[in-house]
Homo-oligomer: A and B are copies of this chain.
Amino acid sequence: MTKSERFSQSLREWMDVFMHRSMRGLSRFAKSTGLSMPQFSILMQLHHKGACGMSAISERFDVSAAAASQLVDKLVHAGYIERTEDPNDRRAKLLDLSPKGRELIERGASERYRWMKELTSQLSTQEQEQVAEALSVLTNAAQKLDQKHVNKSADILHN
């Protein structure tokens, strides 16, 4: 087995295990809060990408503007999202997590994080350092890649 093959295989295995685990944790947590997955995903999106307009929600989740509006409306009434008028364009709305929404997402992250903590508690200090370093490398690469895709989209818009 070549180095490259070994590399591919560890990626695949890890993705398989991690995906499965996170999905279960995520949907359990969402259910425990009384939110549906689509609703919870919107909160996660806002946490991850920051405040945005209604149309952004509609695009990112690939649903109609009507669907986005209805979903967000429920979250506003439940107190997880603040919906204000965009001062620059009075047609548009600005959506952002409320403190309650932020608290919810952070709590969810902590629960998932607890698993990782349990996972790594039995590793040696040296292994922990090794893992930490590798994960930062990956995180940085992911952020760079995201940035590149954003730029590419911007280019397309400019041409």
Interface residues of A (CB under 8 A from B): 3-4, 6-8, 10-23, 26-28, 31, 37, 41, 44-45, 48, 62, 109, 112-113, 116-120, 122-123, 125, 127-139, 141-145
Contact = CB atoms under 8 A, between A and B. Distances in A.
A10 B48 contact: no
B135 A13 contact: yes
Of all A-B residue pairs in the complex, the 5 with the closest CB atoms, nearest first, are: A134-B134, A14-B135, A10-B132, A7-B132, A10-B135
B18 A113 contact: no
Q: Which of A37, A132, A145 has the most CB of B within 10 A?
A: A132
Given A3-B125, A15-B113, A19-B26, A138 B131 contact: yes
A143 to B, nearest CB: 7
Contact of A134 (B26, B27, B109, B133): B133
Contacts of A22: 15, 18-19, 22
B137 A131 contact: yes
Contacts of A141: 119-120, 122-123
A153 to B, nearest CB: 15
A139 B23 contact: no
A13 B136 contact: yes
A91 B1 CA distance: 46
